[in-house]
Chains A and B, each alone.
Chain A
Amino acid sequence: MSQLIWNGLFVGSFYALVALGYSMVYGIIKLLNFAHGDLYMLGAFSGYATLGALGGAVPGGSLIALLAVLGLTMLVTGLSGVALERVAYRPLRGAPRLSLLITAVGASFALEYGVRLVAGPNPQVYPVRLDGTGMSVLGARITLQQLALMAVAVGLMVALNALVMRSRQGRAMRAIALDPKACLMMGVDVDAVISRTFFIGSALAGAAGVMSGAYYGKIDFLMGFIIGLKAFTAAVIGGIGNMKGTMLGGLVLGLLESFSTDWFGGEWRDVFAFGFLILFLTVRPTGLLGERVTERV
């Protein structure tokens, strides 16, 4: 029982980390960044490449080295997110939402198969593997590495929350989310702020990618698809556009999956998650902590 809860919280913190990027981008420009899951995949691969380039210089499994790789990867995926926004989304700002969604699907494909071209179609095995000895807490087996990864995830989320809620930059983001046109008139550089939002969201996804690569050990070019869907589900459960709600949604989804795996078996886990998404959207489309959005006037 407590093992199930722990597993759920652990997986849920990954979901929350990816979902935050979704939620931020959606909150600010009302765009579902369909390629977000693929930025997570890109993060896993660029982390893999960095570790490979460092080669023997890294003592196996050292957490410090992994943190350095994490930082580098966040930079790479963050910049990729900015480039994506510049090329595929910005020219269509103000176009019908359908066109934007379609370019997002296209971007997702280009990223997936672009990585496949570079890295090959076969799954890669991460050179660093985190599976230390476990300790027993309240009947659940918890490894030190799990704790460390979760601490990193929580740390990133706290930092993000502080950024959005306390900094000047965050205030600009929240203002644009409310009314982009008024912001433009008040002298806010809307394009720059949106770029930065993409940078932060993509960097978080990349960080989650590296962490899951190091934890599960195996990465492949399609890994972002399912996680993108899951992250979206998490964001919707918590209330898309709402930071705290999104984190909560990630944890809820992780717990749900953990328990449904136990009850119905692993092969039905995704069916359960998506079925829950559909059910949830029909009952409460604004999510647990979301507010009702007025769409058009």
Chain B
Amino acid sequence: MTAVQNPPVKPVRGRGPSVVTRLLESRRLGWGGLALGLLAPFVTATPYALNVMTSAAVFVMLTVGLNIVVGYCGLLDLGFAAFLAVGAYTGGVLATRLELPLLATVPAVVVATVVAGVVIGGPTLRLRSDYLAIVTLGFGEIIRIVANNLDVTGGPSGIYGIPGLLGDRLSDPVVFYYTTVVIVSVAVLFAARLGRSRIGRAWRFVREDEDAAEASGINTYRVKLAAYVAGAVWGGLSGVLFAAQLSAISPASFTFLQSALVLMAVVLGGMGSTRGVVVGAVVISLLPELLRDLADYRFFVFGVLLIVVMLLRPQGLWPHRSREPDDPATRSTAGADDLPAKEEK
């Protein structure tokens, strides 16, 4: 499995990036992606295709949210579906009880997810990475079990008849698809900007070396909490879209499987790279549809893929590149061993 090695070649210096690299690094690439998303219904607009594409768009938003937490800040969250659930349930319950359009519940959803993010992040973000992972996993389970047992959430059968984003006017699949794409694009753009802002740099610093960040005067705890809450808000808002698309939600939609799929998309795309995770999310959400015949193998393949990606390409398919020149130490040239030497720890 480790047969694919880095070729024993010294990195070439003194030559500029190739055409492909420059194309992939282009700032206009995002607009291209958006155009692709907007033109897709002209290629195929069957209800099935629209449904799949809308799910993909919602999944992109969810993945970008997790990317803030895992990719930017390096906090492994294994219960991200919890925030999807908080958003979907808050929106769904309010919209059905008060007979509001779903869009009107957004402020309440934001408040609910921020509260959820602070409640879980507040006490636990002082923990080390692996403890944090398990605690978030436990939190995800708690949210699911609570939703399963409470009356207000409809118990195991969930909530039915959730109205569309603007009441029933947006029920047309094409209109809903375009609305979703626009909302998701804004969210993606905003997340990418956030990643390049002052706090975004602080996140990356914490990810690379928490102690050094602390020593440089960054309040790591507050920075981490900010990342966690931002991720929670993104997750909650995609929960609203999720509820609007399906018009029915139940605890079965928010299992560990969902969290793991989002994580998979982040890892596959390249942690911390907005373009990468968008592509990762699209791949992860479309792949099962393309591989319908392999339905039984699907999650098995996912698991194996997660391992293989980590072994062969730990930085993901389309990693984030900073402007600084590459650290030569990260490009191992030792072809002799069966692995690139990574001695630092």
* Interface bits A98-136 vs B (CB < 8 Å: 1, else 0): 110111011111111110110000000000000000000
- Quick check: is A204 within 8 A (CB to CB) of the other chain? no
By beta carbon, the residue of chain B nearest A235 is: B134
* Cα separation A31 to B141 with both chains bound (whole Å): 22
Interface of A is mostly: helix
Given A95-B314, A117-B297, answer yes or no on A105-B78 (Cβ-Cβ < 8 Å). yes
- Quick check: is A236 within 8 A (CB to CB) of the other chain? yes
Say yes or no: A88 contacts B134, CB within 8 Å: no
* Interface core residue of B124, B130, B131 (most chain A CB under 10 Å): B130
Which of A92, A105, A116, A285 contacts B131, CB < 8 Å?
A285
- Quick check: is A271 within 8 A (CB to CB) of the other chain? yes
* Interface bits B226-266 vs A (CB < 8 Å: 1, else 0): 00000000000000000000000000000010001001000
Which of A92, A101, A225, A268 contacts B130, CB < 8 Å?
A101
Say yes or no: A99 contacts B128, CB within 8 Å: no
Say yes or no: A229 contacts B134, CB within 8 Å: yes
Of the candidate stretches B28-36, B56-64, B304-312, B317-325, the one touching chain A is B304-312
* Cα separation A101 to B70 with both chains bound (whole Å): 12
Say yes or no: A110 contacts B300, CB within 8 Å: yes
Given A113-B303, A114-B300, answer yes or no on A106-B310 (Cβ-Cβ < 8 Å). yes
- Quick check: is B166 within 8 A (CB to CB) of the other chain? no
The residues of A that contact B133 with a CB separation of less than 8 Å are 32, 101
Task: Name the distance in Å between A224's Cβ and chain B's nearest Cβ.
Answer: 12
Say yes or no: B135 contacts A277, CB within 8 Å: yes
Say yes or no: B310 contacts A109, CB within 8 Å: no
Task: Name the distance in Å between A204's Cβ and chain B's nearest Cβ.
Answer: 20
Given A110-B300, A117-B296, A267-B148, answer yes or no on A278-B137 (Cβ-Cβ < 8 Å). no
Given A274-B139, A278-B138, A281-B131, answer yes or no on A98-B74 (Cβ-Cβ < 8 Å). yes
Say yes or no: A110 contacts B135, CB within 8 Å: no
* Interface core residue of B123, B138, B343 (most chain A CB under 10 Å): B138
- Quick check: is A187 within 8 A (CB to CB) of the other chain? no
Task: Name the distance in Å between B344's Cβ and chain A's nearest Cβ.
Answer: 8
Task: Name the distance in Å between B291's Cβ and chain A's nearest Cβ.
Answer: 14
Given A268-B149, A277-B135, A281-B135, answer yes or no on A106-B141 (Cβ-Cβ < 8 Å). no
The residues of B that contact A99 with a CB separation of less than 8 Å are 310, 314
- Quick check: is B45 within 8 A (CB to CB) of the other chain? no
* Cα separation A227 to B256 with both chains bound (whole Å): 14
The residues of A that contact B304 with a CB separation of less than 8 Å are 106, 110
Give residues 107-142 of B contacting A (CB, 8 Å).
Answer: 120, 123-124, 126-131, 133-135, 137-139, 141-142
Task: Name the distance in Å between A51's Cβ and chain B's nearest Cβ.
Answer: 25
Say yes or no: A229 contacts B123, CB within 8 Å: no
* Cα separation A232 to B126 with both chains bound (whole Å): 18
The residues of B that contact A107 with a CB separation of less than 8 Å are 303, 307
Which of B78, B135, B142, B306 contacts A103, CB < 8 Å?
B306
The residues of B that contact A139 with a CB separation of less than 8 Å are none
Say yes or no: A295 contacts B128, CB within 8 Å: yes
Say yes or no: B305 contacts A91, CB within 8 Å: no
- Quick check: is B190 within 8 A (CB to CB) of the other chain? no
Given A95-B342, A105-B260, A110-B304, answer yes or no on A229-B141 (Cβ-Cβ < 8 Å). yes
Given A106-B305, A274-B139, A281-B131, answer yes or no on A225-B342 (Cβ-Cβ < 8 Å). no
The residues of B that contact A270 with a CB separation of less than 8 Å are 141-142, 145
- Quick check: is B339 within 8 A (CB to CB) of the other chain? yes
Task: Name the distance in Å between B272's Cβ and chain A's nearest Cβ.
Answer: 11
Task: Name the distance in Å between A194's Cβ and chain B's nearest Cβ.
Answer: 15
Which of B138, B298, B311 contacts A277, CB < 8 Å?
B138
- Quick check: is A56 within 8 A (CB to CB) of the other chain? no
Task: Name the distance in Å between B186's Cβ and chain A's nearest Cβ.
Answer: 29
* Cα separation A137 to B6 with both chains bound (whole Å): 66
- Quick check: is A275 within 8 A (CB to CB) of the other chain? yes
The residues of B that contact A114 with a CB separation of less than 8 Å are 300, 303
By beta carbon, the residue of chain A nearest B148 is: A267
By beta carbon, the residue of chain A nearest B304 is: A110
- Quick check: is B99 within 8 A (CB to CB) of the other chain? no
Say yes or no: A282 contacts B142, CB within 8 Å: no
Which of A98, A103, A279 contacts B129, CB < 8 Å?
A98
Which of B263, B307, B343 contacts A87, CB < 8 Å?
B307
The residues of A that contact B310 with a CB separation of less than 8 Å are 92, 99, 102-103, 106
- Quick check: is B13 within 8 A (CB to CB) of the other chain? no
Say yes or no: A94 contacts B342, CB within 8 Å: yes
- Quick check: is B1 within 8 A (CB to CB) of the other chain? yes
- Quick check: is A168 within 8 A (CB to CB) of the other chain? no
Say yes or no: A267 contacts B149, CB within 8 Å: yes
* Cα separation A101 to B136 with both chains bound (whole Å): 13
Chain B residues in contact with chain A, CB under 8 A? 1-2, 70, 74, 76, 78, 120, 123-124, 126-131, 133-135, 137-139, 141-142, 145-146, 148-149, 211, 256, 260, 263, 267, 296-300, 302-307, 310-311, 314, 339, 342-345
Q: Which 10 A-B pairs have the closest CB atoms?
A: A106-B306, A109-B303, A110-B303, A274-B138, A113-B300, A282-B123, A106-B307, A113-B299, A32-B130, A103-B310
A-B contact pairs, 5 of them (CB 8 A): A109-B302, A113-B300, A278-B120, A281-B131, A296-B211
